[in-house]
Amino acid sequence: MNGLPKEVYRAKGVMYFGMKGLEQKYIFQKVGSFKTIDRAEWKSGEKPMTSLTVIGTDFDEVGMERKMRRLIDKTPGDVTAENTIKL
């Protein structure tokens, strides 16, 4: 989320990576330059999904959505803990 345009001053949502070992939801918050990502379990009956809300002025909404959609992994089941980059 470091690539958000400077014109985005508020963003929030949940992210689902759909990878084995990363089944939790990741809760994202951005207010100004402050950003957090927290991990939580999905509630019973809650469907894993990614949903983000972005608020700002004078930024390319269509371009940002296009970039975010390119991040979607069409084969997340192929990713395992063994073949990811360790930070």
Q: Is the pLDDT of residue 87 over 60?
A: no
- Closest by CA to 21, choosing from 68, 77, 75, is 77
pLDDT of 28: 93
Say if 1 falls within a structural domain: no
Say if 63 falls within a structural domain: yes
Query: Domain of 50?
Result: 8-83
More confident residue, 12 or 75: 12
- Exposure b/e, 7-19, CB count within 10 A at least 16 = b: ebbebebbbbbbe
- Structure tokens, 48: 């894993």
Say if 19 falls within a structural domain: yes
pLDDT of 76: 67
More confident residue, 5 or 36: 36
Say if 46 falls within a structural domain: yes
What are 53's strand-pairing partners? 12
Say if 2 falls within a structural domain: no
Say if 47 falls within a structural domain: yes
Say if 3 falls within a structural domain: no
How many distinct structural domains can be found in the chain?
A: 1
**pLDDT tens, position by position, 16-60:** 887 777 788 999 999 998 999 999 999 999 999 999 999 999 999
pLDDT of 78: 73
